[in-house]
Structure 1
Amino acid sequence: MPIIEMHMVEGRTAEQKSRVAAAVTTAVCNSLECAPETVRILITEHGSDEFYVAGMTMAQRAAKNKEQSQ
């Protein structure tokens, strides 16, 4: 039974999460030759102040990118 964990910043709609879950399920089934009923997907959402890339929160990265583009 494949178990897939996804972590993402809050803000996506239920429809978007459903679409990605369906796409990942299809990819896993094709790759592992397993039935969709065996695939489990866990989505954990994080606030923008809890999600870091290169040591900066998403808000900090957005501010830095904005500064650099001006």
Structure 2
Amino acid sequence: MPYIKLKLVEGRDLETKRLLVSNITKAVIETLQTTPDNVRVELIEINEDLFSIGGELMIDKNN
């Protein structure tokens, strides 16, 4: 059973997340020749003040 964990910076709306998990599921089904019921996708939202790139917090990069 495929289990995908995807971390992303929070702030996307529910419709965007629905589309994302739908597209990921379709890709996994097609690639691994499995069924939708076997695919698990976990979205892990990270707050901008808990995530950094190049030593700088994302919240500071976005200001």
Structure-1-length-normalised TM-score: 0.81
- Where structure 2 has 5 or more consecutive residues not aligned to the other structure, the ranges are none
Same amino acid, percent of matched pairs: 33
Residue 45 (structure 2) pairs with residue 18 (structure 1):
no
Aligned length: 63
Query: Which deviations, in whole Å up to 9, do the C-alpha atoms of 1:12-68 show, x marking residues without a partner?
Result: 1111111000000001111111101100001111111111122221122234xxxxx
> Mapping of 1:1-70 within 5 angstroms?
1-63=1-63
Query: How many angstroms apart in 2 are the aligned matches of 1:31 and 1:55?
Result: 36
Gaps of 5+ in 1: 64-70
Letter of the 2:58 counterpart: M
- Quick check: which has more Rg, 1 or 2? 1
Report the equivalent of 1:68: none
Amino acid across the alignment from 1:9: V
Secondary structure of the structure 1 residue equivalent to 2:27: helix
